[in-house]
A and B are shown apart, each in its own frame.
Chain A
């Protein structure tokens, strides 16, 4: 009897206490692209809670192999009734959320806190901010981003006496280098190391080549498919030839690219900044990056990038507190952790120029020419990943044909035309 009375008292005190002291909980969903990333996020949340007593963060990490998979899972969660306050999402997902009226513009909050945020916007490349804007309204503060560059194994280059690629190298230079890197050491007819590994598992493997050729998969406002463009077909043919004609690339499925790169079995591969995590953990330093090769001397460079940010849900019960979290994640000292350290490397590029070009922070980690990351978006025109509303389905269709083309089961032309057909009927449906 005594116990239950005391218990009741304690309980009611706790309830009153939390209501009186206003402990609000902000539910935040984010992509756990690799288990290692969790620690970094936890520390960030602890920092926020320390500065903002009265706000707790209920964080929900969601694993997934790509942004697309992450978005799938979150859609499933939301379909299952989950209503977060904020979510870390990339451009690919924002249109989808927007179409379902799940996220709200941040313009009024930004106006109100203009003074505080001015230095943030000054420190961020306009292209990154514009990617978060739809119909003139901005839906997220950019948080981090990534582009696609070519990573090369400096040790392999040195061993074979190949000069490192330069900024304006062309497709032909690229093929020549890849050929030199492809070596059959034991003469069994099978190369023991390849020049370049094509990545068919996500958009970033093929789109930069299409951009380099001066075109895109869709038209400007993403309402019509452009997959039947002869230039797109030319690009896919080029990729298919890399495997079967020039024989400088293994058939996709060769194995885990990063590990093979470190083991000296692949000379070059394409990625954003995320391989840094794997390389630092393995203590691998013999690598550097270079811009994506130009298609030819006449076609200007167009950088492909994907940027992500934190969006605020329309259903949020605590928009003020959530906005505080969003601002917190944009702060310089918090963003500085995005650079990563040797002990806890991070996979994305910070949106702040001051951080992404800092010799002190970025220079502590590979690659040596980290400036290329931010330069690619300021020195050259840049475009975000073409992501119509139903990005998941688009990605599925494109990747299906890419893998068929790269497995040599369908010609580049037939593949692109069929993809075009499917894109078109998908667009018509919506």
Chain B
């Protein structure tokens, strides 16, 4: 049987590559523009066609940015807040997930269901009472106001519980016969085996809170306490003042840590997304 050259299959192959590559270009293009504009000048920022290749010798925008705004402080703040929240979540979620997965206590399933339903409650709903709580405890304008409410996560509990359920029961049963307590099982069996799930939660959590705008926008007032997203929003300034290259320099600096995390932890991020998606 002779095969014709232009099989429908071949046409489809070419077309699908074109579409995928086109889509990839659409994804990458804004970042490229951002990067090259940060090395430009206010006059060239809007020149058309755009200068796609960055002029690495011109770092005026970066210098201006660092002089004008404590951007590295913002990065430190974001890092501090995201890290503390992540560590907190790892502790609270893993202990709760272990209990929900392996301890039979009264009201367990009802409680779990209730907890899960809180995943539907948006932050925009609870923010008003949260603000009032923070105000009357004097915690407004502190990083604590951001960290404390966030070290609990229904999503984290859910994710880890799903994973813990897959750990073979025989391991625990063997330990129980030897008289091990739940605490021992949790610390010596479950946790060591959960490296990937914990890493996944850690990475997802870190990225989320690194990028969070809403709560810092409402709780943080002092410039030295700003996190990166808040700093970026404030940088926008008056419509005309606040030059484009300087803003793009800020965005570039803000994006770099995320890029690093992405490159290093891509596997965990994608795994995390997949695992939550494939819950049966």
Contacts and interface: CB of A to CB of B under 8 A. Distances in A.
> Direct contact between A and B in the complex (CB less than 8 angstroms)?
yes
Interface of A: 32-36, 60-63, 65-66, 73, 76-77, 79-82, 199, 201, 255-260, 262-263, 274-275, 277-278, 282
Contact of B239 (A34, A61, A62, A257): A257
Contact of B221 (A80, A258, A262, A282): A80
Contact of A65 (B45, B46, B237): B237
B195 interface: no
Contacts of B166: none
Contact of A33 (B43, B67, B69, B238): B238
Given A62-B221, A80-B141, A259-B243, 7 more contacts: A34-B238, A65-B238, A80-B219, A199-B239, A256-B42, A256-B242, A259-B46
A84 B203 CA distance: 40
B141 A77 contact: yes
B140 A201 contact: no
Given A79-B135, A258-B240, A263-B43, A61 B223 contact: yes
Given A35-B68, A61-B223, A263-B43, A82 B240 contact: no
Given A34-B241, A36-B68, A256-B243, A81 B221 contact: no
8 contacts: A33-B241, A34-B237, A63-B223, A66-B238, A73-B221, A81-B140, A256-B240, A277-B241
A186 to B, nearest CB: 12
B141 A82 contact: yes
Contacts of A80: 131, 134-135, 140-141, 219, 221
Contacts, number: 80
Nearest to A61: B223
Contacts of B218: 76
B138 interface: yes
A52 B102 CA distance: 67
Nearest to B70: A35
Contacts of A65: 236-239
Contacts of A201: 238-239
A199 B241 CA distance: 13
Main SS at interface, chain B: loop
A35 B221 contact: no
B4 interface: no
Given A77-B141, A81-B135, A82-B140, A259 B222 contact: no
B133 to A, nearest CB: 11
A181 B252 CA distance: 37
A46 B219 CA distance: 29
Interface residues of B, number: 29
Interface string B201-221: 000000000000000001101
Contact of B223 (A32, A256, A260): A32
Contacts of A36: 68
Contacts of A66: 238
B240 A257 contact: yes
Interface string B67-107: 11100000000000000000000000000000000000000
The 8 closest A-B pairs by CB, nearest first: A35-B68, A80-B140, A257-B240, A258-B240, A63-B234, A256-B240, A259-B42, A201-B239
B246 to A, nearest CB: 9
Nearest to A281: B64
Contacts of A275: 240
A424 to B, nearest CB: 28
B234 A256 contact: no
Nearest to A74: B221
Contacts of B244: 256, 259
B238 A60 contact: no
A255 B135 contact: no
Contacts of B138: 81
Which one of B131, B237, B238, B243 has the highest number of Cβ atoms from chain A below 10 Å of its Cβ?
A: B238
A61 B69 CA distance: 12
Interface in B106-155: 131, 134-136, 138, 140-141
B245 to A, nearest CB: 10
Contacts of B45: 259
A274 B242 CA distance: 13
Interface string B241-277: 1111000000000000000000000000000000000
Contacts of A62: 221, 223
Nearest to A282: B42
Nearest to A256: B240
A63 B237 contact: yes
A83 to B, nearest CB: 11
